Every structure is written in structure tokens, then in C-alpha cells.
A and B are shown apart, each in its own frame.
Chain A
Amino acid sequence: MKRWWLLLLTVAVLAVALAACRGGGAAPETVVVTQGVQVEKESGPCAPQSFDELGEDGVIKIGVPVPLSAPGSVAGGRAMMTAVQIAADQVNAKGGILGKYPVKPIFYDTSGLPERGTAAMEYLITQECVVAVAGEYHSAAGMAEKEVAHKYGIPAIFAETWNDDITAVQYPEVFRIAPASSMVAKGDAQFFKDMGVSWVAIVTENTDYGIPASESTQKRLAELGIESEIYKADIGTQEFAALVSRIAQDITQYEGRKAVLVLITGETSYNFEQQAVEGGLEPSEDLIFVANQVAANAKDFWQNVPDGNYMVFRWVGGGSPFAMAQREEAKGFIEAYKDAWNDPYRFPERYAFEAYDAFMLVVKAIEKAQSLKAEDIIAALESFDSPENGVALAQGVYYFPYGSHNPVPDDQPAWMWHQWPEPKVFFLQYWKVDQHLEEACVIWPADQQTCGTDYLVPGTEPATE
């Protein structure tokens, strides 16, 4: 009898706990700190402050935190690592920074986790004595890393972390060349509007990237009169069948064209996308399926999502892949990247471009500062404050319009601080199985279309290629 009472009590506690988990109901908990504890700093940054302080080999170290193991996006991390190594090799082939100081990237695996991000930055700054940091793929790790960069005053250029708060906190040391989530959400919402979509299923990851990105997208969609629903999943999830069924069921409520937008990053997105097609959410005239950006890695995409033909995917950068391929500053990198992967069809993914450029940007800042002091490197980065004063690299001309000399005005969002404002949103679509990225069509925005059409209805082919 006692056991049944216990059972009943457990059910009641669970019900109350679940109710408490529902958003919006609970008031924020107030924590009162009643006692302060003084902690002595055990170690600090050890970066050389001048070129004279470099060792005999004269090597300048730059820290590169990237995800190289699960649950992070290993594919993303490896791509970024390859790109940074190419950048370092190119700099060193010309004698190094200022033609005489070789540069060495120090990679650290963050697994995309905040605690690993913190450990990475602590290690790179206090043990490896890096003069600056460039990299990171996951916002969850980046959010933690920026705190360490700020604590030690070491400049950090975030390559592929989209969370608005990375730059919104306006730390003097933190710069970003990746787009902010809000920039992308605006582009996404406009795309769906232009495609005549009435409802969007936003499938997102339960992380510092996915949650704000999905909420931001939902808000933008609502502003354009498009309904949406958010479905969260943990990064690393394999089994999505029930979620697919749920979306397939929810979708029946809406008339007209619908869409699925995958904001789950990395390998997990492949699992969802293939299971979605198998579960009846295949692209059709009435359903636009926007796969995660890792679909740009065509070889991995087709292996893992063999039924993913006619999926659309997003490309955010200085230009479309085709425009970037024409840039003189990008050509050497693109060829070197294909060679590094021993795959003539492996066009660099956008996060590879970003990693290459972030690393190069640090190099350019040191060269401009002619100093290894953190404040001088930060000042040099801030001096790239307009397209005219910017640095032309693979993706485009980098500049940061808002910083300590030109604070973010009230009519601009706080995340514009040290933010490269140029990333644009493009939507591409595969229309044949096993296509390479360079064969996909740019379908949006209209003035950038490469196949003379917007969304390709499954079963059709573009009139022009």
C-alpha cells in the first residue's frame, strides 16, 4: 500500500515538475550572494609583448579552438582546421608575419561544449602563450570562450559562432566575421515570404546557437505574417522518427506551401534530414525542405542523405560560392583546400572560408600593428573600420564599422559591435543526386539566381545551368 502511495506521489511530482518546465510560467529565481570569496589569480597570459620576446625560432602562436570530437560538429571542425593550416602555410611560404616571423596555429578541440571552450582558451592563453585567437564553430563554446578572452584581454576573432550575444556584450577583445543569428533570421524569413510559404517547422538544436536562432527566425517570420513552430532536439540525437511523424501531422493543419528549416548543425542534421524524407517529409511543390548548411559538403551530404534530392540549403557569406570562386584572393585558397582533401570537387564550405579569413585577419592586424601587444592588435583590427580601410581576403573585404572609436548607435542592434556587417544570405538547391556544390543552383535572392529560376519543384530541371 505504501508503495502505491509513493507511486502516486512520484506521478504528482513529475506532473508539477513538467508544468514548471513549460516556458513563460516561472518567475526568475533570485540569488542573493551574501559572502564574497577572494580568489588569487594563479596564472595569466604569457603572450610575448614584442618581437624581441619571441623564442629563437621567432614563431608567433595563434590559438585556434575548433570542435574535433562529438558532440561538436567534427566535419565542421576538421574543415576549419584544414583551412587555418592552409592560411598558416601560405603566410609561412612568404617568410611569415612581416616576412620574418613564422606563424603557428595551435589547435584545441572544444567538442562544441562550453566547458571545453573555457578550458581551450585558458590553455591557449596561459600555457601556449598565443597572441590572439581565431576560430570556433559552435556558439555554445564561443559564448564561454569570449569570457576568457575578455578576462585576459586577448583579441579573439570568432569565425563561425552566430549567437548575437557573442558581440552584443561589446567586449573590446571580441570580433566576429560570422553572421549574427539575427542577420540570418531576417534573410531566412524573407526567403520564405518570397517563396509563398505559409507555415515553417523550425527544427533546431538545444544549444546557445539553436535556441536564439530559432526564436529570432520565428519572430521575423511572424513579422511577415508567416506561422511557425519550433521543435528542439539535443545535438547528437540519432533517432528522429517520432519527431518527423509529429511534424508530418502538424503540417496537415496548414494550407498552401509549407517549409521545414533545419537549424541543427553538423552530423545530427543528416540524421534528421534522411529520416524526414523516409518519414514522408520529402521536398515537393508544397514543401520546401531547407537542409542545414553542412549540406554544402556535397560528398558527406549525399552519403548521409541519399534521398535528399531537391533539398535547399543556406549559404551565408560575402558572396555566393560562385561569386567567391571568382575572387582573386580566394582562388589560391580554394585550390589548396581541394588539394588538402584530395578531392577536386570539394569546394570550401563557408565555415572553411571563415576560418581561413579569421586567421589571416589576425596576421594582417599584427602586421599593421607591428606589435604583439594585445591592445595594439585590437587597435589595428578596429582601424579596419570601413570598406576602404578594410582587408580584402577570400570571402570579401573585412571591416568593423562599430568599436571603441565609433560606438554602436541606438538605431543599430548591440551585436553590431566589432561585427563584419557584410554577410549575405543565399539559398542554393540540389536538383540531381550526387551533385557537387558547384553544380547546385542559387535560387535566392532573385538577382543572384544562377539557373534562371527560384525554387525548383521536384521532378523538374533548370532550363539554364
Chain B
Amino acid sequence: MVATLLHFVPAQMWLITPEFILRLLAEGLLIGLIYSLMALGLTLIFSVLGIVSFSHGEFYMIGGYVVYLFLQKFQNSLPRALTGIGALLAAMLVTFAIGVVFERLFLQPMARGEVDRPNEYAILTTFGLAFFLQYLMLGLMGPFPKKARRFFDLPVFDAGLIQATKASLKIGNITLGAGRLIAGLIALLALLAMLYFMFKTWTGRALQATSQDRQAAAVVGINPMNMNTLAFGLGAMLAGLAGAVLVSVYSWVPWVGVIASSKSFVIIVLGGMGSIPGSLLGGLIIGVVESLGTGLFPDPVRAQAYRDVFGLVIFALVLLVKPTGLFGRKL
């Protein structure tokens, strides 16, 4: 085994500098924040409604397209930063609205006990929504990749250790893309706001109470049906927001949500199904592990191709040690 591990010592070991590792860590954390945002939405839906939404990736996709269209429409009529904020709000509003309408029309019958096989029904309806949204956007936007411009360019400056161009920020030898940096910061703010909402407001606590015991929640005056709607709407909105911040980083196509969605499933299982801290930590772990794995895997030819594998290895190892996930309740 030692010989096998030695086989992996890279030829250019000296290239692995602390700065390089810091850069990989920073990139992993930035993308991990967005993974966490996506996964938090899915966790919210699962914990309150008890279903896994297979349309989560499509809300992510819709969020990106709303930002793209908003910026296209208003980029010349409003100040740039204002357009960016408006675009984010529009993406959140649209995805929240779609989520609420869908939950009211298709998932409430299940919650009211009017559906014979609720689990299968939930899978089919959310899958149906995913296909509908994907093909709807294919028809509306076409198959060609779109990308929104950055919400704002970084101010160009050179302050010795810290330098910036409009596209990137350089701290020492650590270069971070402007689009990714802005996306990560917005995701961080959104996560903090969500945590405040969930733990410090009455509605947030009501959502948590519903997720723990629906009947007990109803006894103290919480309407579980309304909580279902709110949870699905918020979950969709968080996915939409994740797409909204990334549409200036990735090229956007109608099937862009497929990868994001599958990654969210991995994260919520890793963190523990239904656990808010678990989805936050799970997202960061997956982001960092993928980044470090790609950057440090000894064989450069395969490093990027194995990117998803690095996360899945950690996922498998965690489940082996703790089958309920990092913060999951005991089964």
C-alpha cells in the first residue's frame, strides 16, 4: 500500500506551494458556498414536505435565464449595480412564484391525502415539472449558450500585494475570477440571511417546527399546508438564486441544471437528509474536495476528469462511517 501511495507522489512536488493550496481552497470555498445555497433549498423542501424535488436543477436554470433576460432588457436604462440587484430580485421572485404555484396545484393534493401513492406521485410530478421547464426554456431561449455579463467589473488597481483587473482579483499569487468572487459573496449573504430567517424569525421557526412534527405544529397554530407552500417556494427561490449568481460565470443552456441538481442530492445526503447545517457544511466540503482533488491529483491528464469522483469518494467514506450523514438524525 505504501508503494502504491508513493506511486502517486507528483514529479513536480515543488510546484505545490502554500499559495497554490490557498488558491484551490479559496476557489473550492467560493463554489462550495453556491453548492450550499442550492442544497439548502433542497433540504428545506425535503424536511418540510418530505419529498425530494427532481425539478430543483430547473429552478436553478430558470434563475439564470431570468437574470440574463433582465440584464439584456435593462442594461442600458439603469445603473449597472442597480440592474444587477434588480436582476437577482427578479430571479428570486420568478422562481419563488413558480414554486408556490406548482406546490399549490400539484403537491397540495398529496399533502391532503388525496393521492393514493404519494411518494411515486411526488417523483413523477417533480420530474414532469423538470422536463416541462427544460423544454419550455429550450423553446423560448433556444439551444445556444447564453451568458450574462458580470454584475459589475472590479475596479482596476495595483496596490502591490493586491491587484485587480476588471476580470480578476490577485492577492499575492492567488488569482480569483471576478464573476466567481461576486457570486460567492452574494451566496454567502444569501446563506446568512436564510440562517437568520430560519432561526431568528417566527416563520422560520414555524418551518422548522413543521419539519419536526406537523401535528404538534398545527396544535400551536401553524398551518402546515401554508408551510408546505412556503418551503417549496423558498427552496425553488434558493435554487433560482444560485443560478442567478452563476449565470455570469458559466455559459447557460436549458439543461444546465442537471449537474447542479445531482450535486445537490449528493450534498444533502452527505450533510444528513433534512439538516440545514449539514447542507451548508456538505456544500463547502464537496466544493473544497473537488477543488483540491483537481489541483493536487498527481496525474494532470486525469485530474479534471476525476473532479466529480473526488467528491463522491468523500461522500462514500462519510456514509460508511456515519450512514445518516454528517448531521443526520439516527435512523
A residues with a Cβ closer than 8 A to B are: 3, 6-7, 10-12, 14-16, 18-19, 21-23, 68-70, 74-75, 78, 206, 229-234, 236-243, 245-246, 248-250, 252-253, 267, 270-271, 274-275, 277-280, 282, 300, 303-304, 306-307
Q: Give the distance in Å from the alpha carbon of A116 to the alpha carbon of B320 in the complex.
A: 37
CA distance A267 to B253 in the complex (A): 9
Closest B residue to A252 using CB positions: B15
Considering the complex of A and B, which 7 residue pairs feature the smallest CB-CB distances, nearest first? A278-B177, A242-B294, A280-B175, A74-B143, A243-B304, A241-B27, A233-B304
Q: Which residue on chain A has the smallest CB distance to residue B178? A: A278
A276 smallest CB distance to B (angstroms):
9
A12 and B1 alpha carbons, distance in the complex (Å): 7
Beta-carbon contact of B7 and A19 below 8 Å: yes
Are A253 and B15 in touch, CB under 8 angstroms? yes
B4 CB within 8 Å of chain A? yes
Write the nearest CB–CB distance from B108 to chain A, whole angstroms: 33
User: Which chain B residues in 1-54 approach chain A with CB under 8 Å?
Assistant: 1, 4-5, 7-8, 12, 15, 17, 20, 23-24, 27-28, 30-31
Q: Is B317 an interface residue (CB 8 A)?
A: yes
The distance from the CB of A48 to the nearest CB of chain B, in whole angstroms, is: 34
Do residues A75 and B31 form an inter-chain contact, with CB atoms below 8 A? no
Name the B residues within 8 Å of A274 (CB-CB). 147, 249, 251
B295 at the binding interface (Cβ < 8 Å): yes
Residue of B nearest to A243 (CB): B304
Contact B24 A242 (CB under 8 A): yes
> Which residue of A is nearest B16, CB measured?
A249
Q: Which of A74, A246, A277 contacts B294 (CB 8 A)?
A: A246
What residue in chain A is nearest B302 (Cβ atoms)?
A232
Query: What are the residues of chain A within 8 A of B28 when measuring CB–CB?
Result: 242
Give, as a whole number of angstroms, the nearest-CB distance from B260 to chain A: 8
Whether A23 contacts B301 in the complex (CB less than 8 A), given A69-B143, A242-B27, A245-B27, comes out as yes
B147 touches A279 (CB 8 A): no
A229 CB contacts on chain B under 8 angstroms: 300-301
Which residues 272-291 of B sit at the A interface, judged by CB distance below 8 A? 290-291
Q: What is the count of residue pairs linking A and B with beta-carbon distances less than 8 angstroms?
A: 154
- Give the chain B neighbours of A14 by CB distance below 8 A: 313
Give the residues in chain B near A249, CB-CB below 8 Å: 15, 17, 20, 295
Query: Does the CB pair B307–A304 fall under 8 Å?
Result: no
Q: Are A303 and B1 in contact (CB under 8 A)?
A: no
Please, how many angstroms separate the alpha-carbon atoms of A288 and B320 in the complex?
A: 47
Known: A229-B301, A232-B304, A246-B295; 10 extra A-B contacts, CB below 8 A, are: A6-B320, A74-B144, A232-B305, A233-B304, A233-B305, A241-B30, A242-B291, A250-B12, A278-B177, A304-B147
Instruction: Return 27 A-B CB contacts under 8 Å, by A number.
Output: A10-B320, A15-B4, A70-B255, A74-B144, A75-B145, A230-B301, A231-B303, A234-B304, A238-B250, A241-B30, A241-B31, A241-B177, A242-B27, A242-B292, A245-B20, A245-B23, A245-B27, A267-B253, A271-B250, A274-B251, A275-B177, A278-B180, A279-B175, A279-B176, A282-B167, A304-B251, A307-B167
| In the assembled complex, B105 has its CB within 8 A of some CB on chain A | no
Q: Are A78 and B168 in contact (CB under 8 A)?
A: no
Q: How far is the CB of B313 from chain A (nearest CB, A)?
A: 6
Q: Determine the chain A residues whose CB is within 8 A of the CB of B24 once the complex forms.
A: 242, 245
Give Cα A15–Cα B4 distance, bound, in whole angstroms.
Answer: 7
Residues of A with C-beta under 8 A to B320: 3, 6-7, 10
Interface-centre pick from B149, B250, B290, B303 (highest chain A CB count, 10 A): B250
Given contacts A21-B302, A249-B15, A252-B15, contact A242 B8 (CB under 8 A): no
Q: Shortest Cβ distance from A348 into chain B, in angstroms?
A: 16
Q: Is the CB of A246 within 8 A of B300?
A: yes
Residues in B whose Cβ lies below 8 Å from that of A16:
1, 4
**Majority SS of interface residues in chain A?**
helix
Q: A241-B31, A248-B175, A306-B147 are in contact. Are A18 and B255 (CB under 8 A)?
A: no
**Across the interface, do A280 and B299 meet the contact criterion of CB distance under 8 Å?**
no
Check B143 against A68 for contact (C-beta < 8 Å): yes
B131 to chain A, nearest CB (A): 13
Q: Which residues of A contact B304 (CB under 8 A)?
A: 231-234, 237, 240, 242-243, 246
Instruction: Say whether A22 contacts B300, CB under 8 Å.
Output: no
Asked if B256 is an interface residue, CB under 8 A from chain A, the answer is yes
- CB neighbours of A69 from chain B (8 A): 143, 255
Within 8 A of A (CB), among B83-117: none
CA separation between A379 and B253, bound complex, in Å? 43
Residues of A contacting B253 with CB < 8 Å? 70, 74, 267
A343 to B61, CA, bound (A): 27
Query: Which residues of B, 108-145, contact A by the 8 Å Cβ criterion?
Result: 143-145
The reply to whether the CB of B179 lies closer than 8 angstroms to some CB of chain A is yes
Q: Are A78 and B301 in contact (CB under 8 A)?
A: no
Q: Determine if B219 is an interface residue (Cβ-Cβ < 8 Å).
A: no
Q: Which residues of A contact B80 (CB under 8 A)?
A: none
Residue B321 at the chain A interface, CB threshold 8 Å: yes
B168/A267 in contact, CB under 8 A = no
**List of A residues within 8 angstroms of B177 by Cβ:** 241, 275, 278-279
Which chain B residues border A275 with CB–CB below 8 Å?
177, 180, 249
Question: CB-CB < 8 A to A70: which residues of B?
Answer: 253, 255
Chain A residue at smallest Cβ distance from B1: A12
Q: In the assembly, what is the distance between CA of A242 and CA of B305, in Å?
A: 12
* Bound-complex Cα distance A242 to B25 (A): 9
- CB of B316 within 8 Å of the partner chain: yes
Closest chain-B Cβ to A111's Cβ sits at a distance in Å of 11
Q: Assess the A232–B143 pair: CB atoms within 8 A.
A: no
B294-A75 in contact (CB<8A): no
| CB-nearest residue of chain A to B23 | A245
Q: A69-B143, A250-B300, A253-B15 are in contact. Are A237 and B307 (CB under 8 A)?
A: yes
Closest residue on chain A to residue B20 by CB atoms = A249
Q: Which residues of B contact A11 (CB under 8 A)?
A: 317
Contact A245 B303 (CB under 8 A): no
CA–CA, A249 to B17, complex, Å? 9
Known: A7-B320, A246-B303, A250-B300. A241 touches B291 (CB 8 A): yes
Residues on A with C-beta less than 8 A from B149 are 306
Q: Which residue of A lies closest to B3 (CB)?
A: A19
Verify A7–B321 contact, CB threshold 8 A.
Answer: yes
- Shortest CB distance B83–A (Å): 16
Contacts of B8 in A (CB 8 A): 15, 18-19
